Amino acid sequence: MLSCLSECYLVVLSGLFTRGQDAEEKVSLPAEIIISAEAPLNDLINFVYPSFEASVERDGYFASRAILAPYNDSVDAINETCLGMFPGSLREYRSIDSVADEDAATHFPPELLNQLDAPNFPIHLLRLKVGMPVVLLRNINPPRLCNGTRLIILAMGENVLRCKIAAGQFTGDEILLPRIPLIPSNADLPVSFKRLQFPVKPSFCLTIHKSQGQSLDTVGIDLSVGCFTHGQLYTALSRAKNAANVRVRIPGTRTRNVVFPEVLTEE
C-alpha cells in the first residue's frame, strides 16, 4: 500500500511539472485508500475520529488528525455532522450584527445581517461544546494566536471562551478568547457591517487551503466534490505523515488534479 500511494503522490506531483495546456486532468487513486462517495459520510468520519469519547481524555488527539475538503460548504456540513456526534452539552452563541452607515440601517435590519456570511468569517449562530476543536479566524496575538491556529474549548462563558492551543510551538498554552468586532472584507456582500462574535469556527474538518503546512498522523479527504484550484490534490494527500493513514472519499476511483501551467512558469 505504501508503494502504491507513493507512486500516486509522484503522479500527482509530476502533473505540476509536466502538464500541457489543460488545467485539469483526472488521476487514479489506489483502491486501498478510497471510500466510495456513495458510502455514508460517517465512514470517513469514523476513520479519522474512531472515538470522540476518547478524544476528551487524550491530549494531542485533535492536533494529530483532521478531515479536509476543498470547499467551505463541504467543510461546514462535515463539521456540523461531527458536532452532532461529539459528546457533551451544546451551547449556542448568536452574534450582534450592525451596519456602520445609519442610513442603511432601515434597509438592513439585524435579522437580515444575521443571514450574511463570508469566507473565513465567523457565522451568526456559533454552536460549541467543551472539548471540541476550533480554528482561529483572525490574527489575535502573532505568533502565538494566528489565523489558522487550532484550539480546544476548555470552558465556555457568556462572553469569553477558555481554550488550549492544540498544536505548534505553543501547544498546551491556555488562553482566554473574548468576542471581538469584525468587519468582513468580501466585496460581494450587499452592505458593510460589523459582527460581534467569537473569531472561531469548528475544525473537525478544515479546507485544504487551511491545512497547508500541517503534518498529521491521520487524514481523511472528502472529494465527493473535486478539487478546483492549482496543486490542491497534492497538498491534501501530502498532509499525512504515514501513507497508510489516509482515506479519500470520491465517486469512482479517479479525481481531478487541477494544474494551472501559468503558475508553474511564473518566475
pTM of the predicted model, to two decimals?
0.87
The C-alpha torsion from 154 through 155 and 158 to 159, rounded to 10°, is: -40
- In 3-state terms, what secondary structure has residue 5? helix
Distance CA 36, CA 2 (A): 20
Residue 5: what pLDDT? 57
Residue 13: what pLDDT? 54
Q: Which amino acid is at 211?
A: S
Domains and CATH numbers, the chain: 2-80+206-260 (3.40.50), 87-203 (no CATH)
The DSSP call for residue 19 is: -
**Digits of tens for pLDDT over the chain (267 positions)?**
545 556 565 556 555 444 443 445 788 888 899 999 999 999 999 999 998 877 666 778 899 999 999 999 999 999 999 999 999 999 999 999 999 777 777 789 999 999 998 888 999 999 999 999 999 999 999 999 999 999 999 999 999 999 999 988 999 999 999 999 999 887 688 888 999 999 999 999 999 988 888 889 999 999 998 887 777 888 898 898 888 899 999 998 888 887 655 554 554
Instruction: Give me the DSSP letters along 206-241.
Output: EETTTTTT--BSEEEEE-SS---STTHHHHHHTTBS
Strand order in the sheet with 180-182: 96-99, 193-197, 180-182
Residue 119: what pLDDT? 83
| Residue located via cell numbers 490534490 | 233
b (16+ CB within 10 A) / e for 174-193? ebebebeebebeeeeeeeeb
- In 3-state terms, what secondary structure has residue 78? helix
